Amino acid sequence: MNLDGRVREVATVMHVRCPQGVPEETYRQVLEMLADLSAVVQALPPVAALVELKGALRYHGAGGRQLAETARLRSVARLGVDLRIGVGTSWTVAATASAQAPVPGGIVSVDPETTAQWLGTLDVEALHGIGPRHAAVLSRYGIDTVAQLAAVSTGTVQRILGARAGRTASEWARGWDPRPVTPRSMPVSASVGTRFERDLLDGAEVRARLLELVVRLGITLRCRGQAARAVTLQLHFAGDARWEKSRRLRAPSAHEDDLRTAAYQLMDAAGLQRGRLRGISLKGEDTVVAGAVAEQLSLDPSREARLVMEETADRVRAKFGPDAIGPASAALRAS
């Protein structure tokens, strides 16, 4: 206990960042490795995770930094992936710390007794959860550091940012974040994407690329034993502009038939004319366990035939590799 009689606060949250662009299967392996250290791991796809250390500290008889060092060492040794890890008393502190860790890997552990002092030295935009837009608004009022944000009354920050955003920003600046680490071993979304070698206009080549993503997304979901309730399409334009839109599926699915229909509808909804595309991303969201989805019998013999072909293609890929079979448009483009 501290001298004033309060129970000493302990850093019990670990925030882990994999390198950007890490393959999804490797990310899942990192999650499994973290689960060996703690029973409470929350996946934050596509590259991050939260780990609750309360029970792990007692079980392993080690401190938060020691467990972070163990996680990093195991990840490098087993997977060849270095990690950026932050350890703190809350989600916000740990995530802010991991962002300050060196690239490609390192650990920043924030002592509970110096949390406020450590946060106070950072620019306000470095505080996890404060985006560039809110940081710009705060800067117009002379609030450029986390220390300045913490010193301003919550009511004042609420008048600047709005009631909800102002309250949470004030709490985070003081190192307080009541959000628990919620066990989530399987990502609730699956994402695939591609960048183009040159800027493209919407046309046959873009549609071929989109079909490739549909196939990759379907394979990813089926390998995980998941089905998506919604599909999100994101278009990346020249100049770093983005367009994003989602569509709910009639029923959760991992079948290319359903994913393709939704993806093409989203592309049509974009209404592209002369926009120069740099890349596209496709995401299956709000996933559920595929085994829990009731399969509806179809009266469409063409669809049933395509589903049989999908199963056959999956068996071919399992035996000969993921590139053994794919859309004809991809083979034509490669040739």
pTM over 0.85: no
* Cα(41)–Cα(31) distance, integer angstroms: 7
- pLDDT for the residue 136: 92
Q: H helices within the chain, ranges in order? A: 24-35, 54-60, 64-79, 91-100, 115-120, 132-140, 146-151, 154-161, 163-173, 204-224, 256-270, 301-320, 328-334
- pLDDT for the residue 7: 40
- pLDDT for the residue 2: 41
* Cα(262)–Cα(296) distance, integer angstroms: 18
- pLDDT for the residue 215: 93
Please give the angle made by the CA atoms of 219, 222 and 226, to the nearest 5 degrees: 130
- pLDDT for the residue 233: 93
- pLDDT for the residue 293: 63
Mean pLDDT by 10 residues, the chain (335 residues): 45 93 86 92 88 92 94 96 96 96 95 94 93 90 96 94 91 91 76 84 80 93 88 85 87 91 90 76 85 59 80 83 69 50
- pLDDT for the residue 277: 85
